[in-house]
Amino acid sequence: MADIKKVVLAYSGGLDTSVIVRWLQDTYQCEIVTFTADLGQGEEVEPARAKAQAMGIKDIYIEDLREEFVRDYVFPMFRANTIYEGEYLLGTSIARPLIAKRLVEIANEVGADAISHGATGKGNDQVRFELGAYALKPGIKVIAPWREWDLTSRETLMAYAKTRDIPIDFAKAGKKSPYSMDANLLHISYEGGVLEDPWTECEESMWRWSVSPEAAPDTATYIDLTYERGDVVAINGEVMSPATVLTKLNEIGGANGIGRLDLVENRYVGMKSRGCYETPGGTILLKGHRAIESITLDREVAHLKDELMPRYASLIYNGYWWSPERQLLQGLIDESQVNVNGVVRLKLYKGNVIVVGRQSAENSLFDTRISTFEDDGGAYDQKDAEGFIKLNALRLRIAANNGRSLLK
């Protein structure tokens, strides 16, 4: 372990990562650099500085990455209408490549030999952090304490903290939420506790960002989303930055009971896991984006995107954001968004996001003259449909005439 002189640790200031600081010092006898990212998790990150200083840390990085997170990670993901296993909007997954990138960048800046994180050996995050780190800095050493130490529970962590003078509010730590939670500007996830029984309904008090659909207003809320190249740039005509857009949609969506999800998913490491997610703004973004694409995308381009999306979603879920295949797909997706411009009107009501209007003055492929059920003035010759149908039925007719009947 003598070759490890300096480590950059992804540090939250909580019990786990505070214990990791001291464990790294004890085990590797190395200098620690802490990195704390503000991704919009809704908690103060600055107190992490005082906690790190109390443990003798001199190099402390605390960074507001909210705009970069939404602009360079969340929005590109939503251009693909990305969902994992039909439901999950990848709120945890999409934050990990940014954290991995900054860990590597800081390691380069300070000349660190290794990076470290607090992800457990059972979860996906260890894979996401480490795949990203190795892709960006192939020779980096990764230290994952949960795969090395013999601390196996919250009680053993607290005992370790007490015996090694780690600055922890033990009264507060002892009253921790029964759930393992992850939050950023896109979502909050909840795992553990009663959720480990997939038959048990979570209690209403668990949810933090949204009211229940039953308690949502009895009057619908209407919003207009303005899109440029597939990204929302304004809400109700007010131009906003990416992070501000998502913050506002979380607020509006949460107030209308939107974005709750109870899911059993397949982790990359092989096990099934039950989690609950709150993604109010993301739920609105997905619905709105599909609506603006419905009038601006060519049919075959839209269908091709839908075919590629599950592969793209798996790449993000499994930690391959920093891979050539994801970048290749991203280029295709981004090119498809050149003409995805316009306005979508949504009706939000008791957990539902309902599309009620969409328009694109310059890029709409919806031609009323052709699609109308009224007199189209000759814009479409209905007689053409006869030959179209016969040509498409030709192979079916040949097979049937050959005795290959589909009727059993």
CA–CA gap between residue 321 and residue 131 (Å, rounded): 9
CA–CA gap between residue 20 and residue 18 (Å, rounded): 5
Known catalytic membership, residue 165: no
| End-to-end Cα separation, the chain, in angstroms | 72
Active-site option among 72, 164, 180, 229: 180
Cα 364 to its chain centre, rounded Å, is 29
Q: Is the dihedral of CA 286, 229, 316, 154 positive or negative?
A: negative
Known catalytic membership, residue 125: yes
Active-site option among 38, 113, 125, 231: 125
CA–CA gap between residue 282 and residue 250 (Å, rounded): 8
Which element (helix H / strand E) includes 395?
helix 384-401
Helix (H, G, I), strand (E, B) or coil at 281: helix
Q: Which two tokens stand for residue 275?
A: 């989690």
Known catalytic membership, residue 262: no
Answer whether 97's CB lies under 8 Å from 322's CB: yes
Instruction: Output phi, psi for 360, to 5 deg.
Output: -150, 105
Known catalytic membership, residue 96: yes
Active-site option among 22, 66, 79, 96: 96
Q: Which residues are catalytic?
A: 16, 96, 125, 180
